[in-house]
Structure 1
Amino acid sequence: MRAAIIDLGTNTFHLIIAEISPSHQVQIIYKTNVPVKLGEGRINENIIIPEAFERGIKTLQDFRKEIDKHQATTIRAIATSAVRSAENGSEFVNAAKHQADIEIEVITGDVEAEYIYRGVKATGVIKSTSLIMDIGGGSTEFIICNQHALVWKKSYNVGAARLMQAYFNSDPISENDKTEIKTHLNETLEDLKIACSIYKPAQLIGSAGAFETFAGLILADLDVKTVKSVAIPFTSYQSLSKQLIASTHHERDQMPGLVKLRVDMIVIAAILTDYVIETCAIKEIILSTYDLKMGILSGLKFRQGLV
């Protein structure tokens, strides 16, 4: 079976085309991503602005061409926070169907967390009670699990794009902005704090995205395209986080390996990650390069009776 997976993220649209064999093997034959910035401008007002709407549909039209070129027979297009919260989200879904011949499934945050867990689990990195964290543009998902099962999960509307648009008002980010973010997190993530106090996860597993950036900036020889998971040195992360938060936009823009899309949002990601590390008493960080997309592929294998 040849399958195409589209992840319509708030910042980036991803396309993976994979061959799933009867022997359970998944071979990625095509992979691309486009910084659509669907949440640009008015994500906290729950609106997809016209420019972002147009970029999104154009990207899906391009994806459709690649899907047809590679003769994928199964297509799953999954939309997350930006589309599910937008007042004109249904208009975007309809436009994708009629203009790009792609049917979008808008999933809940709870289902999104489940897919992320499946993707991370497929790496084999979960060895003990762990907290999985996936920082998106519109939402951030948290999953507590062990090597046997998922035990708790929740999605929160504290994505990097939402927090940046609401609180990032200076360059570099001011102490007042940081305080307001932390106050908002305190108010929003109360049940995460309770869950961590109950289950006591020993390690944080960061799912792709910002954690790939952290790992790439710390581990100079790392090629995230060739690994499923890698440990991020804890003290090195702490030093990097301080540097990112204290830096100006220009200084970050000059950092090798920091893509343009994340030059500002990586500051929010660092603040959010620092908050979770401190609140949940985390002492170890691991990157999983598998995320929602690989979780969906795992689900396809199951549905097709291949595993």
Structure 2
Amino acid sequence: MSEVFTLSPDRGTDAPRPGTPAPGRSTPATYAALDLGTNNCRLLVARPTAEGFRVIDAFSRIVRLGEGLSLTGRLGEAAIVRTIEALRICRDKMAARGVTRARTIATEACRSAENGAEFVNLVQERLGIDLEIVDRETEAHLAAAGVGELADRSALSIVMFDIGGGSSEIIWLRGGESSGGAGRVGAWESMRLGVVSLAEKFGGVDVTDETFAAMTAHVAEALAPFIAKVADETRCDRFHLLGTSGTVTTIAGVHLNLPRYDRRAVDGLWLGRAEVDGAVARLRSMSYAQRAANACIGHERADLVLAGCAILEAIREHFPAERLRIADRGLREGILSQMMREDGVGPHRRGRWR
């Protein structure tokens, strides 16, 4: 499976708005999905194919929009400036690619911040991007749509999770061939915690065993409503976990000893229980400097990755499974799949990156 990322050069601020093809150019239907989270700003631009969709452009940048939000209740000025610049690049890429339909969503940071609506208005005024602040249920279902194709088609029960910066979604998927292999959402919960908020609460640079245990216990409390919802669900003999986020892709990269992150090696990787245990133990044994120097982590995630591991460990403790499948895909793919399905193009399912 190969990727096609033909990245175009950035254009000036006078570029056409998303959805406006360049003058004199006739382009096929081109879709864009933008996901602005608490930590990351991500964009995919794709065109439908007979098998799914083909990604023609992509962008991802850590912006930490939610930096300090758990302490102040507001989006900070520096974070807003960083995010506006990343969104400007996204806007110019969408314009350069002649995007004909786009959905641009914002999640927990904008949902929770006192000035979230004010920020959305600022983005519209400055960039012409209409950010949609989605609710937690929508976020959970989009994540399932984007990741569900990686579920074991023989499994009748799967716990899927998406560890975010300010919120983490956990979903019970009912699988099997009758579900098309993507799974049906049986229950879901959005925990109002993520790697950024957890690291701000407990610290992310020097994480002792006691701190890690406290973080894990804190997540376990937040899991309680979901645990109650699925108390009567049956786990089949092929029950497994399916995870998407920087946390699980980092764990995969560390497990594989990658000299630099490689999506093709990570997306769809199966890890056994002992392999996950080993990768988490390695991460916990690293100093902050060692985490920052690791090519699959970097200084931008070095203070967040152990908070993510604590979220993962709480999930694994309550939903023990012999297998974890890693997904380097998520909301953006779910958005693209949903738009194309609504327009009756493609095979009406999430496609592979070809």
Q: Given the two structures, how large is their TM-score scaled by the length of structure 1?
A: 0.93
1:89-135 per-residue CA deviation (whole Å, 9 max, x = no partner) reads 01111011110110001001111000000111234545411100100
- The separation in 2 between residues aligned to 1:25 and 1:228, in whole angstroms, is 17
Q: Which residue of structure 2 aligns with residue 207 of structure 1?
A: 244
Cα offset, 1:156, TM superposition: 0.8
User: Per the alignment, do residues 112 and 44 of structure 1 end up closer, same or farther by CA in structure 2, a change over 3 Å counting?
Assistant: farther
1:57-100 per-residue CA deviation (whole Å, 9 max, x = no partner) reads 12111211111111111111110001111111011110111101
User: Per the alignment, do residues 98 and 127 of structure 1 end up closer, same or farther by CA in structure 2, a change over 3 Å counting?
Assistant: farther
3-state secondary structure, aligned to 1:206: strand
3-state secondary structure, aligned to 2:232: helix
Confirm whether residue 187 of structure 1 aligns to residue 224 of structure 2.
no
User: Per the alignment, do residues 220 and 250 of structure 1 end up closer, same or farther by CA in structure 2, a change over 3 Å counting?
Assistant: closer
- The separation in 2 between residues aligned to 1:181 and 1:74, in whole angstroms, is 41
Q: Given the two structures, how large is their TM-score scaled by the length of structure 2?
A: 0.81
The Cα RMSD (Å) is: 1.9
Between 1:98-107 and 1:177-186, the stretch displaced more is 177-186
Q: Which residue of structure 2 aligns with residue 178 of structure 1?
A: 212
Cα offset, 1:200, TM superposition: 4.7
Q: Which residue of structure 1 aligns with residue 163 of structure 2?
A: 135
Between 1:291-300 and 1:176-185, the stretch displaced more is 176-185
Between 1:44-53 and 1:138-147, the stretch displaced more is 44-53
> How many percent of aligned residue pairs carry the same amino acid?
25
User: Per the alignment, do residues 124 and 178 of structure 1 end up closer, same or farther by CA in structure 2, a change over 3 Å counting?
Assistant: closer
- The separation in 2 between residues aligned to 1:188 and 1:208, in whole angstroms, is 18
User: Which ranges in structure 2 are unaligned for 5 or more consecutive residues?
Assistant: 1-28, 349-354
1:164-217 per-residue CA deviation (whole Å, 9 max, x = no partner) reads 001117x53124423432332232211222345432552110114211111111
Cα offset, 1:45, TM superposition: 3.1
- The separation in 2 between residues aligned to 1:262 and 1:58, in whole angstroms, is 20
- The separation in 2 between residues aligned to 1:305 and 1:64, in whole angstroms, is 26
Q: Which amino acid aligns with 2:301?
A: R
Question: Does the Cα contact within 8 Å between 2:66 and 2:196 map onto a contact in 1?
Answer: yes
Q: Which residue of structure 2 aligns with residue 55 of structure 1?
A: 82
Aligned residues: 305
Between 1:224-233 and 1:154-163, the stretch displaced more is 224-233
Q: Which residue of structure 1 aligns with residue 193 of structure 2?
A: 158
User: Per the alignment, do residues 111 and 58 of structure 1 end up closer, same or farther by CA in structure 2, a change over 3 Å counting?
Assistant: same
3-state secondary structure, aligned to 1:229: coil
- The separation in 1 between residues aligned to 2:195 and 2:245, in whole angstroms, is 14
Q: Which residue of structure 2 aligns with residue 246 of structure 1?
A: 285
Q: Which residue of structure 2 aligns with residue 217 of structure 1?
A: 254
Choose which of 39, 53, 59 in structure 2 pairs with 1:11. 39
Cα offset, 1:19, TM superposition: 0.7
Question: Does the Cα contact within 8 Å between 1:24 and 1:301 map onto a contact in 2?
Answer: no
Cα offset, 1:51, TM superposition: 0.4
Where do 1:222-237 residues align within 5 Å? Answer: 223-225=262-264, 228-237=267-276
User: Which ranges in structure 1 are unaligned for 5 or more consecutive residues?
Assistant: none
